[in-house]
Amino acid sequence: MSNLRGNLQSISLTDVVQLLHVNRRSGELRVSNGRDKGILFIAEGEVVHAELGRIVGEGAAYETLEWERGEFEFVAARPRTGGSIRRVVPDLLMQAARHSDHRKRLRSLFPSLDAIPWPTLSGPELTRGLKLFEEDERVIPSFDGFRDFRQVMEALEQDEVAVLHAAHQLREAGRLKVLEPLVTLRVVPLKTGLFRKGGHVKVSTVLGDRWRAMGPYGRQAIRNLRVLLPSGPAVEPVQFSAALAEGTLAIPKEFMQAWGLSEADTVAVRPAP
């Protein structure tokens, strides 16, 4: 069993972990579901550490153990000491099942991780009188009305259960709204003058007015847009134009070339700080 590989449609990751536990194996269980990659570090059959992107510890283990599709490979290696997980495997798997149930309930309440949590109160009034866990108190300051749930998770290196639980606590108290400003627009070239290059993108004033009607975006000028590109997000200055069609995003040609976009491609955008 020095090397073991397979796919999660044939055997669950829980069964693989139990098999390694029974045989007291040591090594790295590497798992990929296409977009994400997780690693469970195993010493003498016990899961002692886990990593999933920037998330580490039990949260990373719980998220990875939920995957039902993907590939896994176990590579024998020296046991890792000083890990982040102290639970024995039976307890870890039981907690993972509870975590999964909790996550599914929270995702039914917050179905989109691209949505943006926006607190409707500020300062001490936001949390006054609420019974919050220490983890909630770490998460809540990151709800700024611009970062979506995924960005909060990445910034804090927290799994989605921790972040969504904090959002649920505030929304249950009537102190948080969930915004969905993300829109998909058709790309058109930005027209520029002979001696003037475009250092910004442009959208319609109709879209700008719609955004300004949402919570935090009406309190200050919208100066930047977050553009979600296949190669990763970009934040660029934005101008608004009454002459531009509502469903279009005007981009300088040099930006289009750098981003690998063609006219009539579509991209998703939303306000950025």
Q: CA-CA distance, 89 to 110, in Å (whole number)?
A: 30
Tell me: do 56 and 125 sit in the same domain: no
Judge whether 161 and 59 are in contact, CB under 8 Å: yes
Q: What pLDDT score does 219 carry?
A: 81
Range of the domain at 103: 3-107
b/e per residue 191-208 (b: at least 16 CB within 10 A): eeeeeeebebbbbbeebb
Residues 103 and 114 in one domain: no
Q: Is the pTM of this model over 0.95?
A: no
Residue 180 has pLDDT above 70, yes or no: yes
Contact 211, 145 (CB under 8 A): no
pLDDT over threshold 70, residue 101? yes
* φ/ψ bin of 174: left (φ > 0), alpha (ψ from -120 to 50), beta (otherwise): left
Tell me: do 20 and 90 sit in the same domain: yes
What pLDDT, on the 0 to 100 scale, is given for residue 194?
Answer: 46
**How far is Cα 135 from Cα 17, in angstroms, rounded to an integer?**
28
**For residue 89, what pLDDT is reported?**
97
pLDDT exceeds 50 at position 195: no
pLDDT of residue 175 exceeding 50? yes
Same structural domain, 38 and 73: yes
Mean pLDDT score of the chain, rounded to an integer? 92
* Cα–Cα distance for residue pair 23/28, rounded to 1 Å: 14
Residues 81 and 115 in one domain: no
Query: Quick one: pLDDT band at residue 53, thresholds 50, 70, 90?
Result: confident
Of 161, 179, 197, which residue is a domain's last? 179
Residues 219 and 133 reside in one and the same domain: no
Same-domain pairing of 77 and 17: yes
> Measured between alpha carbons, how far is residue 54 from residues 46, 136, 149, 219 in Å?
22, 19, 15, 33
Report the CATH number at residue 263: 2.40.40.20
Mean predicted confidence (pLDDT) in 231-236: 92
Are 62 and 100 in contact by the 8 Å Cβ rule? The answer is: yes
Q: pLDDT class for 204, splitting at 50, 70, 90? A: very high
Least confident segment among 71-85, 120-134, 170-184: 71-85
Measured distance CA(207)–CA(190) in Å, rounded: 17
pLDDT score at 198: 61
Q: How far is CA 31 from each of CA 80, 117, 196, 233, 239, rounded to the nearest angstrom?
A: 18, 30, 50, 25, 44
Domain boundary among 52, 83, 107: 107
For residue 234, report the phi and psi dihedrals to the nearest 5 degrees.
-130, 145
- Write out pLDDT tens, residues 123-155: 999 999 999 999 999 999 999 999 999 999 989
Same domain, 199 and 215: yes
**Is residue 39 over pLDDT 60?**
yes
Residues 8 and 68 in one domain: yes
Beta bridge partners of 153: none
Q: Give yes or no for residue 215 having a pLDDT over 70.
A: yes
Q: 190 with 253: CB under 8 angstroms? A: yes
The mean pLDDT of 16-36, rounded to a whole number, is 94
Statement to judge: residues 121 and 166 lie in one domain: yes
* Nearest-angstrom CA–CA distance, 249 and 263: 10
Domain-terminating residue out of 179, 195, 211:
179
Whether pLDDT at 1 is above 60: no
Q: Is the pLDDT of residue 232 over 60?
A: yes
Q: How many domains does the chain have?
A: 3
Judge if 94 and 114 occupy the same domain: no
Q: Which pLDDT band holds residue 81 (cuts at 50, 70, 90)?
A: low
Same domain, 13 and 103: yes
For residue 80, is pLDDT > 90?
A: no
